[in-house]
Amino acid sequence: MLKKAKASLEHLYRVFTVPEQGDSKLAEIEQHLSANLSDFLSQHVVTQARSLEDLEQDFADFRVPEEPEFVSAHAEHLLDKLVANSVNTYSPTFIGHMTSALPYFHLPLSKLLVGLNQNPVKIETSKAFTPLERQVLGMLHKLIYDDSDDFYQAHLHSARRSLGAFCSGGTVANITALWVARNNLLKADGDFKGVAKEGVAAAMSHYGYKKLAVICSKRGHYSLSKAVDLLGLGREQLLTIDCPGQTLSAEKALQAARKFEAQGNKVLAIVGVAGTTETGHIDPLSELADVAQQLGCHFHVDAAWGGPTLFSHTHAKLLTGIEHADSVTIDAHKQMYVPMGAGMVLFKNPEDSNAVRHHANYILRAGSKDLGATTLEGSRNGMAMLVYSALHIFGRSGYELLVDQSIEKAQLFAQLINDDPDFELVTDPTLCILTYRACPRIVQAQLQQASSTDKERINQRLDELTVRVQKQQRESGKSFVSRTRLEVAKYPGQTITVFRVILANPLTTKQDLLDILAEQKAISEKTQTFQKLISPAA
């Protein structure tokens, strides 16, 4: 049982009062927590192998605790129940997701963020945080669009326009971009007051469109599907184009658009992805920009993952064409190594932010510089500060090193996989993401000779093997790769299951990668699926 405090106003005042210099209790708690955190982060991916169902027992009570707890007692409780059973995303062998290690400077700096508790929705609750956030947006805008000094001087701190919107992540950034696109397409016209005022049904009737669609490849992020749903287009109007080569063909996109528009519909936007979530591929952005121009529609680039590639002089050219996008999404909480909750959408034309401008009498007055007037979210934290800090502490050249080393490491891992006859590289890394699978050498030889029905049968077995290995590796807790299902050119008409690896953590070594492959091979060889695969009767 936790030792309980007693609810009293005196106790409450103490909780809200800035601790005095001599009061060492909180400092002690803080030190204790930091030490425990460091200890946790130096261990395996998962330290305690408890099932989720088991953990649910620790979080089973649905009544609000009646009596207050002492902070020290509660801190112990958190360490025991929460920290010990979380996932160590800092581990160099946690290479399955876009969430990875953070530079440690974010820990002390984030105390300012929480301590000051600013709300950039409005100047009155954020003051300097507002120009700071606008400057961060400006820096990313410059990185993408490289406009003139005059342009930035005119717009960086303008009350009437905005270079972008800061938000909690790529999902909200994508929704914001398509929201702007929708309101611009279905704008006020004659007696019609615009979709923002009159709604989708009135707008479609005014403009004479049956349906509106967004076009992307099958690798487009699911947030786009949420966006078309929310914006009243309907999920079926996210037209996802087959992409056996993992990128959106401009020609196929145009064909699909023409076919759709021939039926009395209109394409709202083409979305090119710069770094797909599953394989890290980059769509042909320049060609897609041309298609969007031919169609007279919005061109959005989802660079949530791959955007920071622009910091690298060596690799920035992979994103050529991004400067033609009407809007671009970037997540700072991915390859900019900022804590979760840092997404951005940038607008080529700063006037675009006005398509979603909103006023409210008590808070967002017309003519003010309140950021909340053009963001989807209302109250937010001042997370832009940590992007600002990271931009200063790393600098462009520091980010360049991070980007370059992660791409090199992915290329090295691809080489290690290619060199091992019992693995099959499925998609090469364009950025630092690659996919592969365990595929015993005998089976690889069989696959080369096999008829297409045999190939299908063998691939189904291999899918089973990949799932088993991925699950067991995750459960054993030393390392983590994720898995996904893909269509690839090599096996037409089929979807295969693959391991997915993201080499974002700069501390992951070649030895870590070799160990992960060795562990996978050991797990694989012990499965029944493996035995069935290599037996001659198979």
Ligand X SMILES: *Cc1c(COP(=O)(O)O)cnc(C)c1O
Residue with Cβ nearer ligand X (174 or 466): 174
Report which residue type is found at 121. V
CA distances from 178 to 224, 277, 281, 296 (A): 9, 19, 22, 15
Residue with Cβ nearer ligand X (227 or 268): 227
CB atoms within 10 A of CB 30: 12
CB of 352 to ligand X, least distance (A): 20
CB of 252 to ligand X, least distance (A): 20
CB of 117 to ligand X, least distance (A): 23
DSSP class of residue 324 equals G
Q: Which residues contact 496 (CB under 8 A, 6 or more apart)?
A: 426, 437, 459, 462, 463, 485, 486, 487, 488
Strand 495-502's sheet: what is its strand order?
423-427, 433-438, 495-502, 482-487
Residue with Cβ nearer ligand X (171 or 520): 171
Q: Which residues contact 155 (CB under 8 A, 6 or more apart)?
A: 138, 161, 162, 163, 350
Residue with Cβ nearer ligand X (195 or 342): 342
Residue with Cβ nearer ligand X (214 or 273): 273
Residue found under tokens 């953590």 = 505
User: What residue is closest to ligand X based on CB?
Assistant: 170
CB of 316 to ligand X, least distance (A): 18
Q: How far is residue 519's CA from residue 441's CA, in Å, rounded to a whole number?
A: 17
Residue with Cβ nearer ligand X (88 or 223): 223
CB of 342 to ligand X, least distance (A): 8
Residue with Cβ nearer ligand X (134 or 221): 221
**Biggest CA pair distance of the chain:** 80
Residue with Cβ nearer ligand X (364 or 402): 402
Alpha helices in 189-342 (DSSP H): 195-198, 200-207, 222-230, 250-261, 285-295
Task: Decide if 45 contacts 478 (C-beta within 8 A).
Answer: yes
- For ligand X, the binding residues (CB under 6 A) are 98, 169-171, 174, 221, 223, 273, 277, 302, 304-305, 331, 343
CB of 278 to ligand X, least distance (A): 9
CB of 6 to ligand X, least distance (A): 43
Tell me the torsion sign for CA atoms 85, 91, 94, 98.
Answer: positive
Report which residue type is found at 326. D
CB of 378 to ligand X, least distance (A): 18
Residue with Cβ nearer ligand X (158 or 482): 482
CA distances from 240 to 282, 382, 480, 481 (A): 16, 35, 30, 27
Give the rounded distance of the alpha carbon of 498 from its chain centre.
20
Task: Decide if 217 contacts 274 (C-beta within 8 A).
Answer: no
Task: Decide if 84 contacts 335 (C-beta within 8 A).
Answer: no
CB of 46 to ligand X, least distance (A): 22
Residue with Cβ nearer ligand X (223 or 479): 223
CB of 121 to ligand X, least distance (A): 20
Of 178, 414, 402, residue with least CA distance to 310: 402
Q: How far is residue 213's CA from residue 295's CA, in Å, rounded to a whole number?
A: 12
Of 330, 338, 278, residue with least CA distance to 304: 330
Residue with Cβ nearer ligand X (331 or 519): 331
Residue found under tokens 């005022």 = 197
CB of 286 to ligand X, least distance (A): 19
